């Protein structure tokens, strides 16, 4: 995909000029105010922003500050396009997060050279970030990426008053698997489980990550505890359908997983108080981990919650057998 360039200036003629000069370097989008620039950036994350320093209302410096406080936009490079050439303005620009300056009147050669350079640097930065947040074996997001996503989604769930569900997934008796089949086979097993888990998630907003060793974590935005139990059962079935041999396994000599399910709607009063420094996303993970422990205690190859909300019936606990989802959901 071609890089996205967001041009921000209150002078439409300058936007048109820069758009013509840069059209072959990326997809051009534009805004004529700081407020419009923020809306555009939220709608589609740009790869580079060229920003007029002086605009009516929200000026370029304030716009840059707002961009840098957004977790999803903070690493987007910003080049100030300004008629100011004094040192104070440049120092101010760099202090609020600018990557570079271009002075008006705009030179075609300088404009293209600096945009090309920053697009190349952005591409390299994105690749390094991807490598730093990706598990080398499974190519799933790693724990660092999961923790960052959990923080973002928890804040979003508080803001939108929507539930957030977390699943902790552990390969049953994986140490015994490694001892019996060897570590290379163990790597193949983990990679197969990882791809089965990823393939069983149906929404683009859902996330599965390798959390460490034989443990995986799943994040399900806008999902209740009961919805999380349904997803957990689908994950159980997906792994069993791999039919990976495991003589020491729980189910018919094949690899299985145990899953702990926790959702913020289990304790809505806690979820509402998270912003006050009380139970937070760490508590959600702790409850999912505790539920995983109970799943192992109750025989493995199943999904488990800790307890239902007051007055609610307990959810079904999947046994991970190869029935279809409707019948599997009724197992006790």
Q: What residues act catalytically?
A: 214
* DSSP result, 104-152: SSPPHHHHHHHHHHHHHHHHHHHHHHHHHTB-TTT-SB-HHHHHHHHHH
Cα distances (Å, whole numbers) of residue 276 to 158, 222, 269: 11, 21, 12
The answer to whether the beta carbons of residues 121 and 77 sit under 8 Å apart is yes
In which element (H, E) is residue 181 found? helix 174-181
In angstroms, rounded to a whole number, what is the distance separating the alpha carbons of residues 77 and 322? 50
Which residues lie across from 50 on neighbouring strands? Answer: 7, 79
In angstroms, rounded to a whole number, what is the distance separating the alpha carbons of residues 100 and 195? 42
Q: Omega before 105 cis (within 30°)?
A: yes
């Amino acid at each position: 995909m071609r890089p996205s360039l967001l041009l921000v200036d209150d002078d439409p003629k300058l936007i048109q000029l820069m758009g013509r000069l840069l059209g072959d370097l990326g997809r051009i989008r534009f805004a004529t105010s700081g407020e419009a620039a923020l809306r555009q950036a939220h709608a589609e994350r740009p790869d580079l922003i060229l920003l007029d320093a002086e605009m009516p209302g929200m000026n370029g410096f304030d716009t840059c500050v707002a961009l840098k406080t957004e977790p999803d936009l903070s690493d987007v490079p910003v080049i100030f396009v300004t008629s100011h050439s004094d040192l104070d303005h440049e120092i101010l620009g760099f202090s609020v997060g600018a990557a570079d300056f271009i002075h008006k009147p705009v030179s075609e050669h300088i404009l293209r050279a600096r945009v090309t350079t920053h697009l190349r640097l952005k591409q390299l930065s994105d690749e390094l970030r991807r490598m730093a947040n990706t598990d080398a074996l499974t190519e799933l997001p790693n724990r660092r990426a999961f923790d960052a996503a959990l923080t973002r989604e928890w804040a979003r769930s508080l803001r939108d008053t929507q539930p957030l569900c977390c699943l902790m997934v552990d390969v049953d008796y994986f140490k015994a698997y490694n001892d019996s089949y060897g570590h290379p086979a163990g790597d193949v097993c983990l990679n197969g489980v990882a791809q089965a888990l990823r393939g069983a998630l149906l929404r683009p907003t859902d996330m599965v990550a390798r959390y460490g060793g034989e443990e995986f974590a799943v994040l399900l935005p806008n999902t209740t505890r009961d919805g999380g139990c349904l997803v957990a059962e689908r994950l159980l079935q997906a792994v069993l359908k791999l039919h990976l041999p495991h003589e020491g396994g729980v189910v018919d000599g094949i690899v299985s997983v145990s899953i702990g399910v926790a959702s913020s709607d289990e304790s809505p009063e806690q979820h509402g108080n998270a912003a006050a420094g009380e139970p937070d996303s760490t508590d959600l993970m702790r409850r999912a981990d505790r539920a995983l422990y109970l799943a192992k205690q109750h025989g493995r190859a199943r999904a488990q919650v800790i307890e239902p909300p007051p007055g609610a019936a307990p959810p079904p606990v999947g046994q991970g057998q190869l029935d279809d989802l409707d019948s599997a959901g009724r197992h006790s």
